[in-house]
Structure 1
Amino acid sequence: MATPKIKIFVSAPFTGKSWEQVTKERKDLHNLARSFGMEIVEQFIGYQGKDDFENKDYNPSFILAKDKNFIKESDAFVIDLTELSLGASCELTIAKELFDKKVYAIIPDKKRKKHPWVRFYCDFILDSFEEAFQKIKNDFSGKSLKHVIDKRQYDPIATEYRLIEETHSQKYVYDPAIIDIIKKYAKDKSVIVLHGGSGYRARLARKAGASKVTCIDISYKQTQIGKLEEEKDALGIDFLVLDPYSKDFLSSLPKDLIGSADVVLGAFLLDHAMTLNELKTISNNIKELLSKDGIFFGISDHPEVKTPTDPKYGVVVNFEKGSHKTEDGVSRRISIYQKINGNYLEVLHFHNFRWKQKTVYNALSQTGFTSIKFDVAKVSKEGIRKLGKDFWNSYNKNPSVLIILAKK
């Protein structure tokens, strides 16, 4: 396997520059980074064309979501403060306040180097990109570049993550499956939603007929968004911030929730178990939440899907370079795409983990589940009617979503 390269996010001002100037600067920077054996992950150019650049025809929320992801996955943050830039200053704040990145600032001006805010936010102040790249190379020499996936990966992108709610996959594949299962098994009954995020699926379950819904997620920020939604449109949903993959999960719950759920809903819940032990733990925690004869309904990214999947559905499943795609527990890159100026572009990404169908079956059966069934999630009739049968050909040939139904 190839040695991973140091990943750098470069923040540089482009106000007052022509498309040709900025494009050449970016090309030169990429070449310079490669000469130091490094890789630039920032990709502003290429996300919009010359006309859009010159007309300032771009959405700041799109840029912000993209920047958060690229800054998060970078090893070092380089910023050109030769000229002042509002956009670069925003990126600097994200890098330091959200991700506590080491900041390498390029400031040739001696007076500006002494500015208190510069000294506060920038770890190293240098005269040129060459000097900055050499400093980074020296600083990271001999260090492991293995990128660890944080359990709280959704906190920094809690707001932007809601873009998934507008994708074709969500509207015409995930949602209909959830609504059908709630109507069949949880009409006027109790539902607990694990890996519930900001409560989108909890609201879906409540509107589909569940009488009591509890939404649980590890992300404090996503849960706060859910609570704000509840204040605006009260459905009687309870929100809890807990780690459902923890062995301490059950002891942290209100006692009346244990054994109370007619349905436990876990959309992409099992995919976020980071180890086999966590997969077994979450399986047991689900079982303990269920009432007698209760149902676990799960949705997962299909372990055998051919990657990358088609971006026109809004969600792309792929693997990072060098991954062993057939192994259990290997991380997958899940990207949210939007159609912008005629092209499908990644607006944010996160990670989950591939577990073979047999491994999931064993984890559930060993916990005590019976009648464990797997099926491919189907496109709804509404999705076919609105977008046409041909639109879904790619999905039907290479279905990316697996449904899991297990009885206690």
Structure 2
Amino acid sequence: MSSQYDSFANTYGRAVALDVRRYVDYFSLTRALGDVGDKAVLDVGCGTGVITRILKQRGARRGVGLDLSEGMLDAARGEEVRSPLGVEYVRRDIADAGALGPFDLVTACYVLPHASSPDQLAAMCRGIHEALAPGGRFVAIHPNDAFAVNDPAFYSAYGLRASVDGRLDDAAPMKVTVTTVDAELTISTHYWTRSGYEAALRRAGFREIRWRSPEVAPEGIEALGEAFWSNYLARPYAMLFECTKEPAQR
């Protein structure tokens, strides 16, 4: 996973500035998280640190970004130097995240689909479970298993193109191309179903799993109009889930 992100760390910052990322992904994720004030937050697969910084700006007591890509972490640390927020960045596999905890919240933005097998996905979820304090929450956003997979151009207005190689089975190879005015990058990842995610989360120790549809920020509707978002909301590319680690036994 790290090598492909190392290769386009310099252009990734422009890709994450897409309207759909800003007005849908980040808005939906922060809405699901709610108040993060005075909480310790771990952002796994943090990339250039966009979400980690958002959470720190929203009042998180501790903000830690975890990633395997040195290129991405270099970019994130560079931004921290330019605009210090007190964010920590760590190079570590998600499966080994437990040593960094405990955290009140763990976030993941398009990270879990990089798992190439049920065992690897379960190991990632287990690492997140171990990093959480009892009663802590895990909130993730990732491709919706019901996105318009047979129509690669469906999301072109939003700068996205996605395709799955073969049947829509868990861990099937998937490619996502992100296009901006001056950059294009293609990410190799994997397709996962809701049941696939739920099985891995339960193996890791999570019990309550709640699914949420993405929302468009009011600013996004004001800027681009309701009609612009109608196709996306009809068959959203993204989906979210949240789950909680069981509280400590008394």
Do these two structures clear the TM 0.5 threshold for a shared fold by scoring above it? yes
Correspondence for 2:156: 311
Correspondence for 1:277: 119
Q: Does 1:347 align with 2:184?
A: yes
1:261-319, Cα deviation, whole Å (9 max, x unpaired)? 11000111211112111101001001000011100000001122113231111222223
Correspondence for 1:191: 41
What amino acid maps onto 2:213 in structure 1? V
Correspondence for 1:62: none
1:249-264 aligned at under 5 Å gives the runs 249-250=96-97, 255=99, 257-258=100-101, 260-264=102-106
Q: Any conservation in 2 of the 1:275–1:329 contact (CA below 8 Å)? A: yes
Correspondence for 1:376: 213
Identify which of 282, 286, 299 aligns with 2:141: 299
Q: Does 1:334 align with 2:176?
A: yes
Q: Any conservation in 2 of the 1:195–1:267 contact (CA below 8 Å)? A: yes
Shift of 1:383: 1.1
Correspondence for 2:4: 153
Which runs of 5 or more residues in structure 2 are unaligned?
A: 246-250
Aligned partner of residue 167 in structure 2, secondary structure: coil
In 1, Cα distance between equivalents of 2:227 and 2:133: 42
Q: Give the TM-score, by structure 2 length.
A: 0.91
Aligned partner of residue 157 in structure 2, secondary structure: helix
Q: Any conservation in 2 of the 1:182–1:209 contact (CA below 8 Å)? A: no
Q: Which moved more, 1:285-294 or 1:361-370?
A: 361-370
1:315-341, Cα deviation, whole Å (9 max, x unpaired)? 22223xxx213111012111111247x
In 2, Cα distance between equivalents of 1:176 and 1:334: 21
Aligned partner of residue 295 in structure 1, secondary structure: strand
Shift of 1:237: 0.4
Q: Which moved more, 1:159-168 or 1:286-295?
A: 159-168
Q: Any conservation in 2 of the 1:167–1:315 contact (CA below 8 Å)? A: no
In 2, Cα distance between equivalents of 1:208 and 1:351: 31
Shift of 1:175: 1.1
Correspondence for 1:134: none
Q: Does 1:392 align with 2:237?
A: no
1:99-127, Cα deviation, whole Å (9 max, x unpaired)? xxxxxxxxxxxxxxxxxxxxxxxxxxxxx
Q: Give the TM-score, by structure 1 length.
A: 0.57
In 2, Cα distance between equivalents of 1:317 and 1:209: 35
Q: Any conservation in 2 of the 1:183–1:209 contact (CA below 8 Å)? A: no
1:219-254, Cα deviation, whole Å (9 max, x unpaired)? 011101111111110000001111214xxx25xx7x
Identify which of 203, 209, 216 aligns with 2:59: 209
The count of corresponding residues between Structure 1 and Structure 2 is: 242
Aligned partner of residue 212 in structure 2, secondary structure: strand
In 2, Cα distance between equivalents of 1:365 and 1:242: 23
User: RMSD of the TM alignment (CA)?
Assistant: 1.6
Identify the structure with bigger relative contact order (alpha carbons < 8 Å, sequence gap 6+).
Answer: 2
In 1, Cα distance between equivalents of 2:238 and 2:80: 29
Aligned partner of residue 37 in structure 2, secondary structure: coil
Correspondence for 2:248: none
Q: Any conservation in 2 of the 1:299–1:403 contact (CA below 8 Å)? A: yes
Amino-acid identity (%)? 24
